[in-house]
Amino acid sequence: MSKLKDRAYMEMALALAEKARGWTSPNPYVGALIVKNDSVVGWGFHERSGKPHAEILALDRAGLRAQDATAYITLEPCTHWGRTPPCIDRLLKSPLQRIVLSDIDPNPKVNRKGLKRLRQAGIQVSVGLLKEKNQRLNEVYYKYITRKMPHITLKAAMSMDGKIATRRFVSNWISSTAAREYMHLVRGEQDAILVGINTILKDDPLLTVRHSHWKGKRILRIILDSQLRIPLKAKIFDTLSLGDILIFTRNDPPAQKAEKLRKNGATVISMGGSASGIDLKNCLHWLGKNEVSSVLVEGGGRVFTSFLEKNLVDKLLLSVSPKLIGGSAAVGWFQGQGVAAVSESLPFKKNRVFEIGGDTIIEGYL
């Protein structure tokens, strides 16, 4: 098989993996393709956590046609029992002649163990084709599985002068309808949305996934509320069927209010903190232990600033509208004291810029 054909088939396998985006947490997005005599004879992708893995689906579809075929798999096959049996056993029993892997699984339970067993069985294996593209697709999984902390995306909609609300705390609507729809599409890819209590008090949001692409998608709603100021009649409590509600608060919260919130359907977790707020790192460790692999931080300005100043943000997604709000009292998306020298500023990496509905979307990494 030529390198050009290998690349084309791996692109197809990655496109299959992409179809699972938003549905497999805390597992990775994986696609598999089986090719014989320049024809695709089997394909599959891991659709949901607990369902058959991509390799198994591809082998089932290929059947006897897998004899002396080549498999293109976007991630090293698993070697351990989880919600499903290890894929490696089925691959070793298959009549495949060659396997092309995009990347090694960073999971310590799997890392290079699957590759070793395949090669010991005499199967030709190559690794690394379109590795960077696969790692970008699985950026959430790579962080979560190696650090046991969720991948953090900070999303903000702002004017050209960096304001996310007016001096009267009005933010509806800075961004265009099309940009807001896109951000709802992004919401569905996440395990959770996180906001501070001021966002709840000022906007009374639902924090649900309302894009047509994500029918039936539930999402965890996380609220940082150090003094449990959230109203018991907040609209979010009417949407429990669309996702659980988790409230992080400081130690020794008002017991009576905490009990009422629990009766309202929320989970209340006490975290360490100080006068300046809740310990965010402790919150992220708690989420990681509870298999929350991705969080979309949506506001407000103080929460954005806390995450940025504590270097807890992995990815920035900024929607910039061609408007000027002005005023020192208007809410900026990044506050705090700021750096003393330009050399201390936080640089964007791997930037991507595009337009939607007249707004400019800036995507970058920290």
Greatest CA separation found in the chain?
Answer: 70
Three-state secondary structure call for residue 185: helix
**Which active-site residues does the annotation give?**
55
262 phi and psi, to 5 degrees?
A: -65, -40
By C-alpha distance, which of 360, 363, 366, 299 is closest to 335?
299
By C-alpha distance, which of 268, 207, 204 is closest to 240?
207
Angle made by CA atoms 283, 245, 82, in degrees to the nearest 5: 70
Which residues lie across from 249 on neighbouring strands? 270
Cite the DSSP H helix spans in 63-150: 87-93, 113-120, 131-137, 139-147
155 phi and psi, to 5 degrees?
A: -115, 125
Element (H, E) at 359: strand 359-365
Residue pair 297/313 in contact by the 8 Å Cβ criterion: yes
The answer to whether the Cα torsion of 264, 266, 270, 272 is positive or negative is negative
By C-alpha distance, which of 162, 238, 164, 178 is closest to 207?
238
Phi-psi domain of 218 (left: phi exceeds 0; alpha: psi -120 through 50; beta: other) = beta
Cite the DSSP H helix spans in the chain: 3-18, 54-62, 87-93, 113-120, 131-137, 139-147, 177-187, 197-203, 255-263, 280-289, 301-309
Residues 108 and 103: their CA atoms lie apart, in Å, by 14
Q: How many CB atoms lie within 10 A of CB 324?
A: 10
Question: How far is the CA of 12 from the CAs of 49, 68, 102, 142, in angstroms?
Answer: 22, 20, 12, 21
